[in-house]
Chain A
Amino acid sequence: MSLKSVQVNSGGKEKNTYDAIVIGSGISGGWAAKELCDLGLKTLVLERGRDVQHLKDYPTMMKKPWEFAHRGRMSNQFLKENPLISKAAGFAEDTQHFFIKDNDHPYVQDKPFDWIRGYQVGGKSLIWGRACQRWSKYEFEAPAKLGYGIDWPIRYEDVAPWYSHVEKFIGVCGNKDGIESMPDGEFLPPFDFNCVETHVKQTLLREYKNRFLVQGRWAHLSKPNDIHLQQGRGQCQARNLCMRGCPYGSYFSSNSTTLPWAAKTGNLTVRPFSVVHSIIYDEQKGKATGVRIIDSNTKEVTEYYSKIIFLNASSLNSNLVLLNSTSNRFPNGLGNDSETLGKYVGFHLYRGFVNASFEGFTDKYYYVRNPTEGILANYRNLGKQEMDYVGGFTTFSAAYRTRATQSADKPQLGGDFKDAISKPGPWEMYMYMQGETVPKKTNHVRLSDTEKDQWGIPLLVTSVGYDDNDEKMVKDFLEQSQEMLTKAGGKILNAIDNKQPPGLDIHEMGGARMGRDPKTSMLNEWNQLHHCKNVFVTDGACMTSTGNQSPSILYMTLTARAANHAVAELKKGNL
């Protein structure tokens, strides 16, 4: 289908005009909508997927394990048809409706890259991991200082107040630990450590001095404040079934929090089933004037207009939209004078996993389930080059009791067997890594010259792979994690490099990076396209480097900061 062959149904320009358009309703798009609506802008949110209303559209949230036909597992036929999406973290029979199906949304892989997507109102905010550590000053400074990237145009001090703004609103539990590599935030009470986690934490402090295992900083309302009650959200009940959608609205999602909040202002319009084709650029005005969409059901093309546009389509889809927004002025994609669009894509290194068993502590247990994990703050290359690789890694870790086994000299079936294995067994603890990767020009995405999706939009080609820096970091993680668990008295069970393709981390970033110099970057310090100032890109596409912290809260923070800047500039008549 070519756009020219389709009647553009504008429905009257006035009717389709808003103050602001937000492309995408996920974790950052929801924040753009919330801030812009709060600041009085009539805001249209375009979402390519179906609508998902808080509570009403969480069909599995209260189901018991035995109410699932396959007790969580997907059918063999589904797995055959969906080898990609069924690999995603958290994907199972109870959550599968919040993920895409492989065949609906093809893309082209130059190298293996698992692109995990959730196309619905709320996007992947329904199924995110919920970890919310702040970036440290080291992460903003390191790429330029240690020579593996361009300089971020912002520093920790620029985002710190906006982190606070976001944390207070979404609710983040955690302990104030006073660690330089992972600054404290505005925390609700943390979830406890269990006895083995406490033991390992103390061992690491004693053995290493600078290795801090701290309680999870997770977007959970461990103890709601007034603002959260105003949002209609309640206290976390520690079910740890978050990804089904929470009946109490206790973890943060666009659906439970930002979108309903924005709707209450009366300024919000959400249009589901709206696949964005491109951003419309007006050569006379020298700025963007609107967004062209294709209705995913009717395939009808419609244009919407606004003064400012926030692009929050998810990292790689925001790249796709910019690449597909061509004009005489920008033949290679909107704002792409630097020719960096689609390039310098990064991700997080998730390949390393270590676990160990622990003797003892058998007189201790815990009460049911911790919905968070412990975080061992990065201890590598802090402010200086110490290793044979650049960047650092965060380690997530938790201890738990396995199920007991029947002693080997007894029958492994029968009544005694059943009673024995119904009891808790020995303790185990795991560690897995979230490592920084180096954004490189060669790690890129581009539009396919030949293949198009069902709406006639070119398919995205991913050309993203690992490098030697990644290999060295995985090796170091595996060595160090085994050493730490061993020093704490653990017996190593596994130390695995799972070699999973990039993308499965679901932390793909970059392609439209921020920078000081318009010649080498796409966005300025306010997430504005250098060359089209009324377009703001505030999802993961904006990332200059990947850092080693969980990125979602930084996207939310940059979005809130940019939205407030955008409205201030609008008022000054600068946009």
Chain B
Amino acid sequence: MNRREALAATATLLGVTITGAQMFLSGCTPTEKKISSLSDIDTALLDEIGDTILPETASSPGAKAARIGEFMKTIVSDCYSELEQKTFVDGIGKLLALCRDTYNDSFVNLSPSKRIELLTKLDTEAASFSSTKKEDGPDHYFSMIKQLTLWGYFTSEPGATKALRYVPIPGRYDGCVDYNGEPAWLY
């Protein structure tokens, strides 16, 4: 059973809507609900956004495998200030609106190339925002999403052990070894 089936099956079996599950059955939800708090944001949507930023490649799994949506929600909920939380939550709403205006569809229904096209546009916008914003002003919401994705992915088990090299007990330190294109150490 793959992940999509598992989630759908669980939702059906329990007879309740499980957060995230409906995104995998997006055909059944023709209208997206309004995003006004963190709990309105579906984990699966964040997984798909994260997985567009860091997708699976030949060398390593993508951000979805690192459960990046769950990580983003945990950090935004526990570690972000109220202002940062608002920026993030409003930002997801803006992203969905932009998606609908541009493609007349929800993000999760977009083809991979359209997802990349959309997020690249936001990435450019965020980069330009960062270069002009006040130093202590809030980040652009897409900068938050991207930072959380990179941080969460590279410290997750798949990111740390497959994309990077994680050696919990090195046993020794060598100051100088030849480098031939291997991944970086986790830290």
**Cα–Cα distance between A74 and B152 once the two chains are bound (Å):** 15
Instruction: Choose, from B26-34, B40-48, B99-107, B154-162, the stretch at the interface.
Output: B154-162
Q: A239-B168, A415-B57, A422-B59 are in contact. Are A404 and B173 (CB under 8 A)?
A: no
Q: Is the CB of B57 within 8 A of A76?
A: no
The contact string, 1 if C-beta is below 8 Å from chain B, for chain A 196-210, is 011000000000000
A-facing mask of B146-182, CB < 8 A → 1, else 0?
1000111011110010011011111111111111011
B155 & A71 in contact (Cβ 8 Å cutoff): yes
Complex contacts, A229 vs chain B, CB 8 Å: none
- Mask: chain B, 61-82; 1 = CB below 8 Å from A; 0 = not: 0100000000100110011110
Q: Given A237-B170, A237-B171, A238-B170, A66–B74 Cβ distance below 8 Å? A: no
Select B146's contact among A70, A238, A403, A413, beta carbons within 8 Å.
Answer: A413
B178 to chain A, nearest CB (A): 6
**B87-109 with Cβ < 8 A to chain A:** none
Given contacts A413-B146, A415-B55, contact A367 B116 (CB under 8 A): no
Contacts of A425 in B (CB 8 A): 184
Report A485-542 residues with CB < 8 Å from chain B CB: none
Given B59, B123, B156, B164, which contacts A413 in the complex, CB threshold below 8 Å?
B123
Q: What is the chain B residue whose CB lies nearest that of A368?
A: B170
What chain B residues lie within 8 Å of A197 (beta carbons)?
175
Minimal beta-carbon separation of A31 from chain B (angstroms): 28
CB within 8 Å: A-B pair count: 145
User: Is there contact, CB below 8 Å, between B169 and A237?
Assistant: yes
B81 close to A76 (CB less than 8 A): yes
Q: Which residues of A contact B22 (CB under 8 A)?
A: none
Q: Is the CB of B173 within 8 A of A418?
A: no
- Stretch of A152-160, A288-296, A358-366, A558-566 that contacts chain B: A358-366
Does B12 sit at the interface, judged by CB under 8 A?
no
* Most chain B beta carbons < 10 A, residue from A64, A73, A192: A64
Cross-chain contact of B151 among A71, A77, A238, A371 (Cβ < 8 A): A71
Contact A412 B123 (CB under 8 A): yes
Contact A422 B175 (CB under 8 A): no
- List the A side residues contacting B127 at CB < 8 Å: 412
Is B119 an interface position by the 8 A CB rule?
Answer: yes
Interface membership of A75, Cβ < 8 A? yes
B55 near A365 with CB under 8 A, answer: no
The interface residues of chain B lying within 8 Å CB-to-CB of A11 are none
Inter-subunit contact B184/A193 (CB<8 Å): no
A residues 22-72 touching B (CB-CB < 8 Å): 64-66, 69-72
A543 to B38, CA, bound (A): 53
- Which of B57, B79, B166 sits near A419, CB closer than 8 Å? B57
User: Which single member of A64, A370, A419 contacts B175 (CB below 8 Å)?
Assistant: A370
User: Which residues from chain B contact A72 at a C-beta distance below 8 Å?
Assistant: 155
A411 on the B face (CB < 8 A): yes
Residue of A65, A198, A371 with most partner-chain B CB within 10 A: A65
Determine which residue in B78, B155, B176, B185 has the highest number of CB atoms from chain A within 10 A of its CB, and name it.
Answer: B176
> C-beta contact mask, B133-154 vs A, less than 8 Å → 1, else 0?
0000000000000100011101
Shortest Cβ gap from B69 to chain A (Å): 15
CB distance from B77 to the nearest CB of A (A): 9
Q: Is the CB of A366 within 8 A of B176?
A: yes
CA–CA, A191 and B172, complex, Å:
9
Instruction: Flag if A76 contacts B177 (CB, 8 Å).
Output: no
What is the size, in residues, of chain A's interface with B at 8 Å between Cβ atoms?
Answer: 48
Q: Which of A60-103 contact B (CB under 8 A)?
A: 64-66, 69-77
Chain B: minimal CB distance from A150 (Å) = 43
A370 to B173, CA, bound (A): 6
**Does A369 have its Cβ within 8 Å of any Cβ on chain B?**
yes
Q: What 1/0 flags go to A106-129 for Cβ under 8 Å of B?
A: 000000000000000000000000
Known A66-B155, A414-B116: A76·B170 in contact at CB below 8 Å: no
- A463: Cβ under 8 A from any B Cβ: no
Q: Are A367 and B59 in contact (CB under 8 A)?
A: no
- In the bound complex, residues from chain A placing their C-beta under 8 Å from that of B123 are 411-413
Q: A71-B151, A366-B176 are in contact. Are A422 and B163 (CB under 8 A)?
A: yes
- What string of 1s and 0s marks CB contacts (under 8 Å) between A172-202 and chain B? 0000000000000000000111110110000
Q: Which of A77, A370, A403, A404 has the most CB of B within 10 A?
A: A403
Closest-CB distance, B160 to chain A (whole angstroms): 6
Q: How far is the CB of A496 from chain B (nearest CB, A)?
A: 14
Q: Shortest beta-carbon distance, A237 to chain B, in Å?
A: 5
Closest Cβ–Cβ distance, residue A397 to chain B (whole Å): 14
Using CB atoms, name the residue of chain B closest to A248. Answer: B169
Give the complex CA separation of A215 and B170 in angstroms.
Answer: 20
A50 to chain B, nearest CB (A): 26
Pair A366/B75 contact, Cβ less than 8 Å: no
Please, which residues of chain B bring their CB within 8 A of the CB of A238? 170-173
Shortest CB–CB separation between residue B60 and chain A, in angstroms? 7
CA gap between A413 and B167 in the complex, in Å: 26
How distant is the Cα of A75 from the Cα of B77 in the complex, in angstroms?
Answer: 9
Question: Using Cβ atoms and an 8 Å threshold, which residues of chain B touch A239?
Answer: 168-170
Give A284 to B114 CA distance when docked, in angstroms.
90
**Contacting residues, chain A, for B177 (C-beta < 8 A):** 364-367
A423 at the interface (CB under 8 A from B): yes
**Residue from the list A191, A404, A417, A419 in contact with B59, Cβ < 8 A:** A419
Return chain B residues, CB-CB under 8 Å to A403: 184
Question: In the complex, which of the residues B80, B168, B173 contacts A371, with contact meaning CB atoms closer than 8 Å?
Answer: B173
Interface residues of A in 229-245 (CB under 8 A from B): 237-239
Residues from chain A with Cβ under 8 Å of B150 in the complex:
421
Asked if B186 is at the interface of the complex by the 8 Å CB criterion, the answer is yes
Contacts A365-B179, A368-B167, A425-B184 given; 12 further ones with Cβ under 8 A?
A65-B160, A69-B74, A75-B78, A198-B175, A238-B170, A363-B178, A365-B182, A366-B177, A413-B53, A414-B116, A422-B183, A424-B185
**Interface on B for A, CB 8 Å cutoff?**
52-57, 59-60, 62, 71, 74-75, 78-81, 116, 119-120, 123, 127, 146, 150-152, 154-157, 160, 163-164, 166-179, 181-187
> Could you list 7 examples of A-B contacts with CB < 8 Å?
A65-B160, A76-B78, A76-B80, A191-B173, A369-B187, A414-B116, A424-B184
Closest 10 CB pairs of A and B: A192-B175, A367-B174, A368-B170, A365-B179, A424-B184, A238-B173, A415-B57, A65-B155, A194-B175, A413-B53
